[in-house]
Amino acid sequence: MLFFKPADSVHQLRELPPGIGNLTNLTSLLLAGNPLGELPSEIGKLTDLTYLQLTGCSLTSLPSEIGNLTNLIDLLMDNNQVTTLPPEILDLTSLKRLSLSRSPITVMTPEMRILLDRGILSSI
């Protein structure tokens, strides 16, 4: 498990280093409260990841490489600025829970509808 907890507003993680993709055995990544803005494409190399906590990270989108995380079970993205999901979100075959509460979703995309119908999208 890798946990980046923001101690205060001065020492927050603002971006993930490209080397994050080298942590291929990582199963849990908790980044809540860090103002990342975006995730690097290297996130898609974390194929053993089962839990990804991105609550309050100021994200506006997800990279298409998110679809490579086929072992991901929980994706928590509450309180971000994401308005839509990439089609590759449907490649997350192990996904059981996707939470997007307090995010400015205004249009239900086909991908969101499918996840909602499967009972995976728990809150918008």
Residue with tokens 């205004």: 106
pTM: 0.88
CATH of the domain at 86: 3.80.10.10
Question: Using CA atoms, how far apart are residues 19 and 121, in angstroms rounded to an integer?
Answer: 30
Domain residue limits at 35? 2-123
pLDDT (tens digit per residue) in 59-109: 999 999 999 999 999 999 999 999 889 999 999 999 999 999 998 877 778
Residue 10: band (very low, low, confident or very high) from pLDDT cuts 50, 70, 90: very low
Q: Between 12 and 27, where is the model more confident?
A: 27
Total domains in the chain come to: 1
* The predicted structure's pLDDT at residue 1: 58
The answer to whether residue 5 scores a pLDDT higher than 70 is no
